[in-house]
Amino acid sequence: MFDRYIGIDYSGAQVPTSSLPGLRIYMSDRDTLPVEIGPPPSPRKYWTRREVAQWLVERLRENIPSVFGIEHGFSFPLLYFKYFNLEPD
């Protein structure tokens, strides 16, 4: 059904412009094994969350049936836990 498969490891905190080693993108198609996609050329060594979002927008504009998977540990902000006195001991 899909011609392209993209997996994203979306680990890491901080701000959208932080270069984080936990941000990784892998891509494959029907005929190839997944390969890691490196970040755009810059002085930074790793992807930023903003760059990942921009890269995804570019892929979505292409006329290629694709499936995207994002591994992300969603959570409430720390202030939520503090407000409701839910902080871990």
Domain boundaries, the chain: 4-83
CB atoms within 10 A of CB 33: 7
pLDDT of residue 17: 84
Q: Per-residue pLDDT tens for 39-79?
A: 999 888 999 988 999 999 999 999 999 999 988 777 777 78
At 82, is the secondary structure helix, strand, or coil? helix
| Residue keyed to tokens 């890269």 | 55
Kind of pairing, strands 66-71 and 4-10? parallel
Whether the pLDDT of residue 89 is over 60: the answer is no
